[in-house]
């Protein structure tokens, strides 16, 4: 997910996230189910999401507050709903450290460095071409050596 996260709520077994003016419907593991924008009736200028006392999804936008039906297909304007709005909360230190560790990994392994060196990826596209040309040259040397050996016999 890229963009500014303006809020998120859990709606049954779906995470509804407000991201840069759109609503993203996600599975609990983070896979995108669908993205809803103004073409699907979501109000423009989306600021945050929440749940009202009836369990409906509500959004605050530049034009006011809107509530969705159960299928998230129909939106209608509501006057100042009593809702539990999504609010930013700090990430616990242990979770933050784990997320950073998973994002950055544990460094480069020897196998990774050797594989990148042998494939030429260590030098980018030019390195890959150099390794390929070297392989073709080695194959040519082997075949010409075999041809010379066969001719001498």
pLDDT in tens, 69-122: 888 888 888 887 788 888 878 888 998 888 888 777 767 778 888 988 888 888
Specify the pairing of strand 83-85 against strand 14-19: unpaired
CA angle 144, 130, 137 (to 5 degrees): 0
d(C-alpha 107, C-alpha 87), whole Å: 35
User: Do 48 and 123 lie in a common domain?
Assistant: no
Print burial letters for 96-116: b (CB count within 10 Å at least 16), e (below 16).
eeeeeeeeeeeeeeeeeeeee
pLDDT in tens, 12-58: 889 998 888 889 999 988 889 998 888 888 888 888 899 988 888 99
Angle between helices 125-152 and 110-119 (to 10 degrees): 70
Please enumerate in sequence order all residues whose Cβ is within 8 A of that of 30, keeping only pairs 6 or more positions apart, or say none. Answer: 1, 15
pLDDT of residue 129: 94
User: Do 82 and 132 lie in a common domain?
Assistant: no
- 134: helix, coil or strand? helix
pLDDT of residue 54: 86
In a domain, 95, yes or no: no
User: Do 29 and 85 lie in a common domain?
Assistant: yes
Burial grade of 136 (CB within 10 A; 0-12, 13-18, 19 or more): exposed
User: Do 47 and 85 lie in a common domain?
Assistant: yes
In a domain, 11, yes or no: yes
User: Do 31 and 72 lie in a common domain?
Assistant: yes
Number of separate domains in the chain: 2
User: Do 10 and 84 lie in a common domain?
Assistant: yes
Q: Give the domain range for residue 141.
A: 110-152
């Amino acid at each position: 997910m890229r963009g500014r996260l303006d809020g998120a709520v859990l709606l049954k077994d779906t995470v509804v996230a407000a991201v840069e003016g759109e609503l993203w419907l996600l599975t609990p593991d983070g896979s995108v189910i669908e993205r809803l924008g103004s073409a699907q009736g979501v109000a423009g200028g989306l600021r945050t999401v929440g749940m009202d006392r009836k369990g409906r999804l509500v959004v605050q936008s530049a034009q006011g507050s809107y509530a969705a039906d159960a299928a998230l297909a129909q939106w209608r304007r509501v006057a100042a709903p009593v809702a539990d709005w999504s609010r930013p909360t700090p990430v616990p230190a242990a979770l933050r450290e784990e997320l950073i560790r998973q994002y950055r990994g544990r460094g480069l392994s020897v196998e990774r460095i050797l594989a990148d060196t042998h494939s030429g990826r260590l030098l980018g596209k030019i390195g890959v071409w150099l390794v390929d040309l070297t392989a073709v040259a080695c194959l040519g040397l082997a075949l010409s050596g075999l041809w010379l050996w066969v001719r001498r016999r």
